[in-house]
């Protein structure tokens, strides 16, 4: 897949799987909403119910900033299948500037965030490698 | 989410994101088809075009067998969101017994595999922990 196609599909995707790695070397996966901002991906935590304590994606990223995002679209017609993967480095940002930028872009992309509060820290992932595959 | 609900949703899902970890500690993600077989997940490589060389999910699993699967369903109505995550240990199996079992279950689940060849090695993941979340 061409880089511009991969970039477009990543930007348009509504949800991604975010992979991080724990101190024990095990992968961790969670679906996230996100916004693409040039070569940066922003993601934030909203008000949906969470278990107590810091989220595992956050504790993982604090000890190992390597992160991967996958977007894909299932289709029973396998000639329609495609996926895009973004590999990069993610940092946790607690500052107001990061929260403001992430909130602006997430609210622009997702109407749902109009009535959902966003909380720091936000994830700022610098995309270093973008790859993609499509069946045709 | 209750364990039996998580198990049912995992079994019914048509596609999952498979996360593995590379020798450099970076996560790797790829969408896979799979079949649930009790507490085992089988996945195989089909005839869709692939780049040359061994797949990265395979080389990663040979050096670090820790694997995570994520299934989820996007919905613009966020009260409908849910995900299920399976953590476990995955091994590469080159033997005919494993290929036969994986092929049987994958062909039962996916009509598409009727006309698509499956090749060893297959991935056999023993699910050790199943967790899930749903918005309501």
pLDDT in tens, B97-136: 999 999 999 999 999 998 888 888 999 999 999 999 999 8
Residue B49 reports pLDDT greater than 80: no
| CB environment B23-50: b (16+ within 10 A), e (fewer) | eeebbbbbbbbbbbeeebbbbbbbeeee
Average pLDDT, chain A: 93
Q: Among A71, A80, A73, which Cα is nearest to A33's?
A: A71
Q: What is the pLDDT of residue A77?
A: 95
Report ipTM (2 d.p.). 0.94
Tell me whether residues B28 and A17 touch, CB distance under 8 A. Answer: no
Average pLDDT, chain B: 93
Instruction: Find the range with the poorest average confidence among A98-102, B53-57, B90-94, B130-134.
Output: B53-57
Percent with pLDDT over 70 in chain B: 96
What is the nearest CA distance from A15 to chain B, expressed in angstroms?
Answer: 7
- pLDDT (average), residues A29-57: 86
What is the nearest CA distance from A89 to chain B, expressed in angstroms?
Answer: 10
Between CA A6 and CA A9 the distance in angstroms is 5
Residue B136 contacts A, CB cutoff 8 Å: no
* Dihedral sign (CA A8, A81, A136, B29): positive
Residue A40 reports pLDDT greater than 60: yes
What does the DSSP 8-state code read for residue A25? S
Between CA B103 and CA B113 the distance in angstroms is 8
- The encoded tokens of residue B123 equal 């991935």
């Amino acid at each position: 897949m061409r880089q511009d196609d991969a970039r477009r599909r990543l930007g348009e995707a509504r949800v991604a799987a975010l992979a991080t790695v724990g101190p024990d070397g095990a992968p961790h996966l969670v679906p996230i909403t996100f916004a693409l901002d040039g070569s940066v991906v922003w993601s934030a935590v909203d008000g949906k119910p969470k278990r107590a304590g810091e989220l595992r994606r956050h504790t993982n990223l604090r000890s190992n900033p390597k992160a991967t995002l996958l977007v894909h679209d299932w289709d029973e017609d396998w000639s329609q299948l495609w996926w895009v993967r973004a590999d990069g480095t993610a940092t946790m940002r607690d500052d107001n500037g990061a929260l403001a930028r992430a909130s602006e872009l997430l609210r622009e992309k997702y109407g749902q965030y109009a009535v959902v509060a966003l909380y720091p820290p936000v994830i700022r992932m610098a995309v270093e490698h973008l790859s993609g595959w499509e069946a045709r």
